Amino acid sequence: MEEIRKSAECKYLERRIRELKNNFDFKQSINGITKRQSDRLKGLRLLCHAEFEDYFESVALKILALAEKKWMDKHVANYHLASLLVYHEKIEKKGDIQTKVYKIITDYRQLIRGNHGIKENNIKKMFEPLGYNMNDFDVAFLATLSSYGELRGEIAHSSIKHTQQSFNKYDEYNKVEEILRGIKQFEEVIYSL
């Protein structure tokens, strides 16, 4: 099977995650981690989540921009734009087709930019309107994203007094690497259309 080339967004994400892991690295003792090391892992989780979120949003915006360019250049709706037009519930009866298409593209762009998360529901909201079937994505990968989003939420929205999680550097790194491996499969689906 021919391997799909990584997108520029994926290459950037991998570099940035390596950077973050290096910036937050520490030597973990066999007795566990200190409060300071726990804070480092929390910071790593928050920043990795932000990078993952940015990745998914960037990919969706890139697909949208390519569809918009094709429409602007040739007035041709590629698969992604056609899917978006079909998916859009409220197409005004009045006005010309150009205005309607640009309004839908603008609304969808705002939806992507207003995204706040990497859970399965976030991925669905960004990619289903572009014609992707959620069943085409790896179920385990989507579950991993949702789980990581939950873990991030516990950190971001709770004081240390209320956070019950115990941290382990190696588990945290493994979660991040698992998501990166899943993104490679995600891109195979994204760029197969």
pTM: 0.91
Q: Please, which pLDDT band fits residue 1 given cuts at 50, 70 and 90?
A: very low
Among 30-34, 40-44, 89-93, the least confident range: 89-93
Which letter, b or e, does each residue of 79-109 get, where b requires 16 or more Cβ atoms within 10 Å of its Cβ? ebbebbbeebeeeeeeeeeeebbeebbeebe
Mean of pLDDT values over 76-86: 94
- In this prediction, residue 12 carries a pLDDT of 97
Residue identified by tokens 């190696």 is 170
- In this prediction, residue 32 carries a pLDDT of 81
Mean of pLDDT values over 165-183: 90
Q: Where do the H-state alpha helices sit in the chain?
A: 8-23, 35-74, 79-87, 97-113, 120-127, 139-156, 169-190
Residue 37: Cβ-neighbour burial (10 angstroms; 0-12, 13-18, 19+): middle
- In this prediction, residue 107 carries a pLDDT of 93
Distances (CA, A) of 38 to 31, 52, 154: 13, 21, 14
Strand partners, 32: 29
Among 5-9, 67-71, 92-96, 112-116, the least confident range: 92-96
Four-residue CA torsion sign, 47, 34, 170, 157: negative
pLDDT digits (tens, 9 = 90+) for 131-162: 999 999 999 999 999 999 999 888 876 655 55
Q: Please, which pLDDT band fits residue 65 given cuts at 50, 70 and 90?
A: very high
**What letter represents residue 62's amino acid?**
K
CB count in 10 Å sphere of residue 63: 24
Calculate the CA 92 to chain-centre distance.
31
Contact 38, 167 (CB under 8 A): yes
3-state secondary structure of 69: helix
